[in-house]
Structure 1
Amino acid sequence: MRGTLGFRSLKPYATIDGSAGYKGRSPMRMGEFFQLWDEIHDVPLLPSADEIRWKLTNDGQFSVALAYDMFFMATENCPYSELLWRSRAPSRVRFFTWITLKNQCLTADNLAKRNWPHDDLCPLYQRQDEDCHHLFVGCDYMVAVWRIIRRWCSASFAIPADEENTLSDWWLATRRRFRTSYRTDFDSAFMLICWLIWKELNARVFQHVSKSPEQLAEDIKQEIAIWRVAGIFFQFHE
């Protein structure tokens, strides 16, 4: 241990102000050295050979199987994970939907937790503080967009703001009201609407441009047409 620290190889010299220094060692390296010294100088050294022990087992033996199991010790039951990851939506849209349903996308409340610059008010309507639930459920702008799309596809279903539920609970409950053959298309439409709402928010924040709910709804319709050509939609409104 003493040899690896290299303490004996440090050669003192006098600095300009008369204080002691060590050749070949920057102040940062010296600080790291003495920090390490403080942490290990009380560690008892035994004459026996060193051995590596794994703290997660009683016998200290490591195994790949136990390490693999460790990754799932804190897993939670997620009722929508299979629906989400098996949907036909593009990967980046599915991933965004995942963090949105987990309330982890970078809305104002999550930016505040990181001490990042932000504006508390929702950029879409400037009346309420922004968080995931407000943005994708309660925001008047989001409500207007959903109503336009609902009229356009001639469907009768409750939009997120109509029910006092989380976004994930609303999605799971609403998709069950559609015929089985339409549910996958509804999943993709739901993810697309959330994705383009998020892009609209970012356009307002970073590019200082904005669209009305009607304009964004037109963008959604055009994107649905593109996704239909790509084989993502099969039953959705022409």
Structure 2
Amino acid sequence: MMLGDGRTTLFWDDRWINGQSVREIAPMLYQCIPKRRCKTRTVAEGLDGNTWARDIQGTLGIHEIGQYLMLWQAVQHFTLSDEPDRLLWRWTASATYSAQSCYAATFQGSTRCHSWKLIWKSWAPPRVKFFHWLANQDRCWTASRLARRGLQHHPRCLLCDQDPETIQHLLLACPFAKQTWYIILDWAHIPAQPPANEITMMDWWLRAKAQTPPTLCKALQSITLLV
């Protein structure tokens, strides 16, 4: 927020103090301000005769008093102008809005799924894609996930009775899964080796893709999900 005449900038909620709001600078003091006042008090009104100090209600403790003094010092050097307040777009160097920067901002803090192409670019039905998306996030209700939540579960895989039941074990490491992979790959004439010691489905798919002719890669991708 670029402060001008202060008539549209909210004193308590907007970021007008060196890119920060009063709520961020003095959070405990902010709790002493009525919500209705936070939504209506402008900077122009608040700085006029230090009217903002009259918004504070309730009993102040030592921390609130300390933040009050800090805020008092922070706002003393501000002077208003005749220019209107102006919003600054934080996602570009020029502080001006663009559709490209807005689109990029929507992905801030997101986590990239490295297996998205394997899952969503295949010929598999939507419900199969959704299952593998859950499996990739370890969101399927296997025995290991039940154990992490303290729920009743079987100690070992019900198919092989050898190892704990994790999603990686069910899809890749279980002897029954390996046998199924071998039969399907042989039936489809795909010259890729069945899963061996890969940690995730994506690891095996990358290895199998390198062993498969380009004309069969799409088939491998779909079979990987359908099996």
Equivalences, count: 146
Cα separation, 2, equivalents of 1:128 and 1:75? 34
**Structure 2 residue 179 is the aligned partner of structure 1 residue 144:** yes
8 A contact 1:176–1:183 mirrored in 2: no
Which residue identity lines up with residue 213 of structure 2 in the other structure? R
Q: Which of these residues, 148, 159, 174, is aligned with residue 208 of structure 2?
A: 174
8 A contact 1:107–1:131 mirrored in 2: yes
Which residue identity lines up with residue 133 of structure 2 in the other structure? W
Cα separation, 2, equivalents of 1:140 and 1:46? 65
Number of the residue aligned with 1:134: 169
Q: 1:77 to 1:157 in 2, by over 3 A?
A: same
SS in 2 for 1:88: coil
Number of the residue aligned with 2:38: 50
Cα separation, 2, equivalents of 1:72 and 1:78? 13
Number of the residue aligned with 2:194: 159
Q: CA deviation at 1:140?
A: 0.8
Q: 1:116 to 1:71 in 2, by over 3 A?
A: farther
8 A contact 2:159–2:176 mirrored in 1: yes
Cα separation, 1, equivalents of 2:217 and 2:118? 10
Q: Which of these residues, 147, 152, 157, is aligned with residue 122 of structure 1?
A: 157
8 A contact 1:80–1:172 mirrored in 2: no
Cα separation, 2, equivalents of 1:113 and 1:67? 39
Q: CA deviation at 1:81?
A: 0.9
Q: CA deviation at 1:86?
A: 2.0
SS in 1 for 2:192: coil
TM-score by length of 2: 0.53
8 A contact 1:99–1:105 mirrored in 2: yes
Cα separation, 1, equivalents of 2:123 and 2:35? 62
Give deviations 1:38-86, integer Å, cap 9, x for gaps.
xxxx95246983318xxxxxx8x9x9x8997665222233333134212
Q: CA deviation at 1:136?
A: 1.3
Number of the residue aligned with 1:79: 114
Which residue identity lines up with residue 137 of structure 1 in the other structure? L
Uncovered stretches (5+) of structure 2, i.e. residues with no partner: 1-29, 41-86, 90-96
**Structure 2 residue 89 is the aligned partner of structure 1 residue 101:** no
Number of the residue aligned with 2:17: none
Q: CA deviation at 1:125?
A: 1.1
Q: 1:168 to 1:51 in 2, by over 3 A?
A: same
Identity, in percent, stands at 29
Q: In terms of mean alpha carbon deviation, does 151-160 or 88-97 score higher?
A: 151-160
Which is richer in helix?
Answer: 1
SS in 1 for 2:38: coil
SS in 1 for 2:145: helix
Q: 1:134 to 1:51 in 2, by over 3 A?
A: same
Q: CA deviation at 1:132?
A: 1.4
Q: Which of these residues, 187, 197, 206, is aligned with residue 221 of structure 2?
A: 187
Cα separation, 1, equivalents of 2:127 and 2:159? 23
